[in-house]
Structure 1
Amino acid sequence: MTKAQVRARLRDAREARSVFDVESAAANLADWMYRLPMAVEEGSTIACYLPVGSEPGSDAMLEALDDQGFRIIVPVVPDGEPQPLRWAVFDRGTQLQTRRWGLAEPATPSLPPESLADASVVFVPALAVARDGTRLGRGAGYYDRSLSVSRAVRVAVVFDDELVDRLPAESTDVPMEWALTPEAGFTRLDPTGPAAG
């Protein structure tokens, strides 16, 4: 299947999830944030998204990171054509506003794209991720454009059945190093494994 066909199938499956499943998954994902498998010093910067619509997770993921003393930055989508994301600092007191495509973003001034270079870990939304690290996003390429400035550990956040063996890939796709799912938690991805190629 093409990327567009896979995206359509995954979106339909997400929309069909029950409210109970979505809320249970969000609670589990927040709990996993207290059990990061990579060493991250207190006070370090972690990039994470603010889930909207059918995306897995909730603000509780970010609150769990805030509880541990991390500095959190969240994406801000720039106006115009797709380009690298801007970023904004987030904590429990941050006022949010609904912006482009219904995304929740801080009302505070944004930081330049290079700010992602400060992050030790970046949690990336995805429609699916393969065991070889291939991530399928929504198709605009914002994260692929953004991650080139970062040496952060890259974690794709998906539902458990969205961690798959193989996905269509392009040369511009930035591979993920970990998957985070509600039930299985953190799974190390392997670009040298049988799904690679």
Structure 2
Amino acid sequence: MTSDKAALRTELLAARDSMSPFVLSQAIGDLAEWMYNLPVDVAAGDTVAAYVPTRREPGGTAMLDALVDRGLRVLLPIVPEGEPQRLQWGVYRGEQSLAEGRWNLLEPRGQRLDPDTLVQAALILVPAVAVDRRGVRLGRGAGYYDRTLTDMPGQIAVVVHDAEVVDGELPEDRYDVRGQWILTPSGGFVPVEAG
């Protein structure tokens, strides 16, 4: 495995792009099912942060709808204008409440919530290109999530496709924020290994 983040990201995204529509569809359904078996205790009215997948990222609005079905308040990221900074948040109110935002990403319409709103989340579902067994994430490279997740009290679950959990160690910078859980379609929530 290469230690260069950019080269590794390119390699992994090419493999993701080659995934069949059937495999992607199956992953969407499997991840939605795992929302009924979260690794943290939550009750109706509690907050979970998630994301709307793009470009073959794992997950889908079925995952978000499953969380809402449990009576949870679901926060979704909103990418602010300008240079990379902490993400803002909005409340998910169904697929019809989403609109294209920056870089054509689907974001919740309505009130933009401050980045510190994330402290209310018991669990934060974060997409990644890959994750190692220590919870080190390989993201898309802009650092929005690392800026946002620093010092957040909620548990972080890194969401990837099954083949994107790497056995070796991903390159890690001092500002990278690790996850405490890895979520894959077939494996569900698995705690990260110490190290």
TM-score w.r.t. the length of structure 2 is: 0.95
Deviations 1:43-89 (A, max 9, x none): 11000001122111110000000000011100000000000000001
Contact between 2:181 and 2:192, CA under 8 Å: does it hold in 1?
A: yes
Deviations 1:9-63 (A, max 9, x none): 0110010000001011011000111111221222110000011221111100000
What does residue range 54-93 of structure 1 map to in structure 2 within 5 Å?
54-92=56-94
Q: Counterpart of 2:145 in structure 1: which amino acid?
A: Y
Contact between 1:25 and 1:56, CA under 8 Å: does it hold in 2?
A: yes
1:145 corresponds to which residue? 147
Residue 37 of structure 2 aligns to a residue in which SS? coil
Residue 26 of structure 1 aligns to a residue in which SS? helix
Counterparts of 2:37 and 2:129 in 1: how far apart (Å)?
23
Q: Relative to structure 2, which stretch is displaced further, 170-179 or 159-168?
A: 159-168
Contact between 1:116 and 1:149, CA under 8 Å: does it hold in 2?
A: no
Contact between 1:114 and 1:149, CA under 8 Å: does it hold in 2?
A: no
Residue 101 of structure 1 aligns to a residue in which SS? helix
Structure 1 runs not aligned, ≥5 long? 193-197
Contact between 2:40 and 2:122, CA under 8 Å: does it hold in 1?
A: no
Residue 145 of structure 2 aligns to a residue in which SS? helix
Counterparts of 1:6 and 1:146 in 2: how far apart (Å)?
23
Counterparts of 1:39 and 1:190 in 2: how far apart (Å)?
21
Residue 150 of structure 2 aligns to a residue in which SS? helix
Counterparts of 2:26 and 2:109 in 1: how far apart (Å)?
29
Percent of counterpart pairs with the same letter?
A: 46
Contact between 2:137 and 2:158, CA under 8 Å: does it hold in 1?
A: yes
Counterparts of 1:41 and 1:148 in 2: how far apart (Å)?
25
2:15 corresponds to which residue? 13
Contact between 2:61 and 2:95, CA under 8 Å: does it hold in 1?
A: no
Q: Counterpart of 1:171 in structure 2: which amino acid?
A: R
Residue 124 of structure 1 aligns to a residue in which SS? strand
Deviations 1:94-130 (A, max 9, x none): 5211122221001212101110011110000100110
Counterparts of 1:101 and 1:138 in 2: how far apart (Å)?
13
Q: Counterpart of 1:176 in structure 2: which amino acid?
A: G
What does residue range 38-187 of structure 1 map to in structure 2 within 5 Å?
38-92=40-94, 95-165=97-167, 166-187=169-190
Contact between 1:94 and 1:106, CA under 8 Å: does it hold in 2?
A: no
Residue 90 of structure 2 aligns to a residue in which SS? strand
2:27 counterpart of 1:25: yes
Deviations 1:136-165 (A, max 9, x none): 000000000001241100000000111112
Counterparts of 2:149 and 2:96 in 1: how far apart (Å)?
24
Q: Aligned Cα RMSD in Å?
A: 1.1
Q: Relative to structure 2, which stretch is displaced further, 93-102 or 14-23?
A: 93-102
1:195 corresponds to which residue? none
What does residue range 185-196 of structure 1 map to in structure 2 within 5 Å?
185-192=188-195
Q: Counterpart of 1:179 in structure 2: which amino acid?
A: I
